[in-house]
Amino acid sequence: MDFTEEQTRRYARHILLPEIGGTGQARLLAARVLVVGAGGLGSPLILYLAAAGIGTITVIDDDTVDLSNLQRQVLHTTSRLGQPKVESAAAAIADLNPDVRLVPLRTRLTAANIDALIADHDVVADGSDNFDTRFLINDACRRAGRTLVSAAIRRFDGQLSTFRADGPCYRCLHPEAVAGGDGPTCANAGVLGSVAGTLGTMQATEVVKEVLGIGESLSGRLLRYDALKATVSIARLHRDPACPVCGDHG
């Protein structure tokens, strides 16, 4: 594509990278990414995807901005307390990058709407905070053959992985929900705000890599981050032959 002078200046640091260049930047501008959740992970994720020039970002979230969110959800502001998070996200992105079309969906992700949503996007980024939603997203991405980049945080820790159609899926990592619910969450156990920023930013990087087809994917690998120890570790993930979604059943 032909860039305007403003776009050439905006994306100059990308265009200088041989791994991206003008062709890669055009691919980013043509990409469609579905982001589930505009909270702690979704905030830095959406901001960096928009700054990178991802052309269409659909954000699904049914919550409103609360004062307790602002410790980590940097997409939102005090002046937008009480607003739907997707509307707050749209306002922030309109200010950041007019090249980006942010589609705000103030609703919950359900079995009734997920397949149509995923089919319309290239990559799905999961920033949700419960197993039911994560399983729903994983299963739909597998059915549609879409790449899923999934992150999670709690207290001082986080984890991140990419699930491609030809690799292990999220249920290979977590076969079932934690007994008695989702276990400790940010709401009941707390979280260091900057950990959300760290993992959400890493998640944005992995989404961009998948769109561009560059670097080494996190498919088949699990990244774990421990903020208190200042360590990052990588573990191998293998497809579970007994997995109900991608295993050897049927």
Q: Which domain holds residue 63?
A: 20-236
Distance, in Å, from the CA atom of 31 to the CA atom of 212, rounded to the nearest integer, reads: 9
Instruction: Establish if 7 belongs to a structural domain.
Output: no
65 found inside a domain: yes
**Domains identified in the chain, total number:** 1
| 87 found inside a domain | yes
243 is catalytic: no
Structural domain includes residue 9? no
Whether 93 maps to a domain, the answer reads yes
Catalytic residue among 169, 172, 186, 246: 186
Helix (H) or strand (E) holding 231: strand 231-236
Residue 53 sits in a domain whose CATH number is 3.40.50.720
Does residue 246 lie in a domain region? Answer: no
Question: Quick one: pLDDT at residue 161?
Answer: 98
pLDDT in tens, the chain (250 residues): 689 999 999 999 999 999 999 999 999 999 999 999 999 999 999 999 999 999 999 999 999 999 999 999 999 999 999 999 999 999 999 999 999 999 999 999 999 999 999 999 999 999 998 999 999 999 999 999 999 999 999 999 999 999 999 999 999 999 876 544 556 666 777 899 999 999 999 999 999 999 999 999 999 999 999 999 999 999 999 999 999 999 887 4
pLDDT at residue number 240: 92
245: in domain: no
**Residue 73 domain flag:** yes
pLDDT the model gives residue 176: 78
